[in-house]
A = this chain, B = another copy of it.
Amino acid sequence: MSRKRTIGTLSQDSGVHLETIRYYERIGLLPEPPRSASGYRYYDDTAAQRLRFIRRGRELGFGIAEIKTLLQLADHRNQPCREADQLAQAHLVEVEAKIADLMAMRDVLTQLIQCQSPTVEHCQLIETLEQRRCCSSSDGVHRE
């Protein structure tokens, strides 16, 4: 038996926000589900599984476009796995770059927080922002 759910139930089952589910449908990530006569969406187990797939992909940090690709790959099981692997590789590189950026931030912040001054006059954080170099990464701002 393929249980039918309303969008609210699917939302609770999957841990994906109700409005996010509608958003995924709007951008073509989730297929349009069948509707009741009055227009209510009803989801079957396949839809629920697809949504879990998406959620897990997001949890791993994949973007919507990447997840779209992964879903297509999952639908064609006899295709070579190379594309999925390359996607994951490229994503891993990005994740590692972000980690490096954040760790550089963390290190500077950790130093600055040892501030003993009672006034802003000699506050290390403010002084750093005003004068000194503080971050090794050149474009850390833009890849967030």
Known A77-B120, A95-B106; further 14 A-B contacts with Cβ < 8 A: A53-B129, A58-B141, A59-B134, A59-B135, A70-B125, A73-B126, A81-B118, A81-B121, A81-B126, A84-B115, A84-B126, A89-B113, A95-B102, A98-B102
Which A residues, 78 to 104, have Cβ-Cβ distances below 8 Å to chain B?
78-81, 84-85, 87-89, 91-92, 95-96, 98-99, 102-103
Q: How far is the CB of A70 from chain B (nearest CB, A)?
A: 6
Collect the chain B residues with CB atoms within 8 Å of residue A108's CB.
Answer: 60
Residues of A near any B CB (own CB < 8 A): 49, 53, 55-61, 70, 73-74, 76-81, 84-85, 87-89, 91-92, 95-96, 98-99, 102-103, 105-106, 108-110, 112-113, 115, 117-123, 125-126, 128-130, 134-135, 137, 140-141, 144
